[in-house]
Amino acid sequence: MKTLVEHAKEGELTRPMEEVAQTEQIDPQVLVERIALGSIIIMRRGQRSVGIGRGLSTKVNVNIGTSSQKIDVEEEVKKAQIAESYGADTITDLSMGGNLPEIRRKILANTTLPLTMVPIYQTAAEIGLETMDEAHLLHTMREQAREGVSSFVLHCTSRDTLHTLKRSRRIMGVVSKGGSLSIAYMLLHHAENPFLENFSDILKLLRRYDIVLSLGNTMRSGCIHDPRDRAQRAEMRQNTELAKRAHEEGVQVIIEGMGGHIRADRIPKYIKSYKRSSDFPLFVAGPLPTDIAVGYDHIAGCVGAALASGAGADYLCYITPAEHLGLPDAGQVKEGLIAFKIAAHIGDSMKYGLPEGDKKLARKRANLDWEGQFRYALDGEKARKMAPREGPCTMCGDYCAIRMMKNLPDILEKG
């Protein structure tokens, strides 16, 4: 069976492509060409198709999942459902505690969004880093692929890049969990990266199930004082080469990069430099432009993600208020998602021009039409709880600027 990339390379427009072209209001032929070139991918699950990449709206991913210290499957299912109902584009299950296949199956059964997995999480949690081997990793990937996941994140850091990292003067070292698990495995087993060692077989598996490969960002900075160093540049070069290889084999691919913590003025610069060197869709975690917003990292992340999206990032991984502090609860998942939906929306207004929705909301606001405003708001339900049913709100009360200015012509006429 042909993969989506192979269909596109032959100029064939398939149903997922038609759906994405319609949702995104993009010429179907342009979409086919961009999939063929690798600058757009479509993440699919069942009837749902989510396009990510050049010329498309910025997408938002929500991470959920248990940890070894907090296992509440129903809460994870609730988080997944909240993510879906508040407009997440994709979900990633990062569970490492409890019965992992059962958690994944419950998430799959209760949502329709494309689901991403990081296979080393399950393998390390079930087998243990010391006893697991490459065969265990491949077994996990086959199991997850058969169950219908849409994408895998693989951290492919080579031993060469690890040597480069040793010379780096970072405060935070490596802060990617998937990346640190891969590195720990390599060091414990005196081995090369297991995903690199088995890359051909992995591509065959991804090709067979037409699963998107997301190349992980192990080397991202963990604080704004950690600069983009040689290790980051080496990882990015390597991921771009791996992406080319995957795409040649008919596998859709995303590159994760420019995420983590980056000082604000450098975010657009870094994103633009990536976009000049590679056209594969860019997936960005955060980035956080400050380290001091603990407890409010979803707000700091929203600022960084808006800058990143506006400069060309295609896909954002959200951050919740619990970032750096604990596993988020369902309410915090919602807060983080809304913050990143705002970032994506602002980014799109920078990339593609002012959105119609903002104009429609402004018109309703100018008429003090509260219900009308809620229709176009990202979270109308929350806004409704704070607003009056009609007339001015309690902010200015009798001195409502909007009402005064509306009445002004009458006042002038009477005067």
CA distances from 123 to 127, 140, 158 (A): 6, 6, 20
Nearest distance in Å: CB 354, ligand SF4 = 21
- Hey, how many other C-beta atoms are within 10 angstroms of the C-beta on 110? 13
Strands 253-256 and 282-285: parallel
Does 408 participate in binding ligand SF4 (rule CB under 6 A)?
no
Element (H, E) at 92: strand 90-93
Considering only the stretches 88-96, 297-305, 371-379, 390-398, report the one whose residues sit in contact with ligand SF4 under the rule CB under 6 A: 390-398
Per DSSP, the residues of 4-44 read HHHHHHTT---HHHHHHHHHHT--HHHHHHHHHHTSEEEEE
CB nearer to ligand SF4: give 172 or 402: 402
CB nearer to ligand SF4: give 221 or 373: 373
Nearest distance in Å: CB 400, ligand SF4 = 3
Nearest distance in Å: CB 413, ligand SF4 = 22
Strands 151-154 and 212-215: parallel
Considering only the stretches 257-265, 323-331, 350-358, 399-407, report the one whose residues sit in contact with ligand SF4 under the rule CB under 6 A: 399-407
User: Quick one: DSSP state of residue 88?
Assistant: -
Return all residues near 413 (Cβ < 8 A) that are at least 6 apart. none
Nearest distance in Å: CB 384, ligand SF4 = 14
Place of tokens 């997408």: 59
The token duo for 146 is 């058969």
Does 401 participate in binding ligand SF4 (rule CB under 6 A)?
yes
Among 109, 292, 386, 395, binds ligand SF4 (CB under 6 A): 395
Considering only the stretches 206-214, 219-227, 262-270, 395-403, report the one whose residues sit in contact with ligand SF4 under the rule CB under 6 A: 395-403
Does 400 participate in binding ligand SF4 (rule CB under 6 A)?
yes
The answer to whether 77 and 47 have CB atoms below 8 angstroms apart is no
Nearest distance in Å: CB 387, ligand SF4 = 9
Nearest distance in Å: CB 175, ligand SF4 = 41
Nearest distance in Å: CB 382, ligand SF4 = 17
Among 82, 127, 205, 402, binds ligand SF4 (CB under 6 A): 402
The span from the CA of 411 to the CA of 415, in Å, is 6
The token duo for 334 is 């919602």
Considering only the stretches 78-86, 101-109, 167-175, 391-399, report the one whose residues sit in contact with ligand SF4 under the rule CB under 6 A: 391-399
CA distances from 189 to 41, 179, 182, 186, 219 (A): 35, 15, 11, 5, 21
| Contact string (CB under 6 A) for ligand SF4, positions 343-382, x = contact | ----------------------------------------
Nearest distance in Å: CB 334, ligand SF4 = 25
CB nearer to ligand SF4: give 37 or 402: 402
Number of residues engaging ligand SF4 in binding (CB under 6 A): 7
Torsion angle in degrees (nearest 10) through CA of 309, 370, 394, 415? 110
3-state secondary structure of 261: strand
Considering only the stretches 85-93, 261-269, 302-310, 400-408, report the one whose residues sit in contact with ligand SF4 under the rule CB under 6 A: 400-408
Among 187, 362, 383, 396, binds ligand SF4 (CB under 6 A): 396
The span from the CA of 329 to the CA of 348, in Å, is 28
Nearest distance in Å: CB 362, ligand SF4 = 12
Does 1 participate in binding ligand SF4 (rule CB under 6 A)?
no
3-state secondary structure of 415: coil
Does 392 participate in binding ligand SF4 (rule CB under 6 A)?
yes
Torsion angle in degrees (nearest 10) through CA of 100, 98, 254, 345? 120
The span from the CA of 384 to the CA of 379, in Å, is 9
For 28, phi and psi rounded to 5 degrees? -55, -35
Nearest distance in Å: CB 393, ligand SF4 = 4
Chain positions contacting ligand SF4, by CB under 6 A: 392-393, 395-396, 400-402
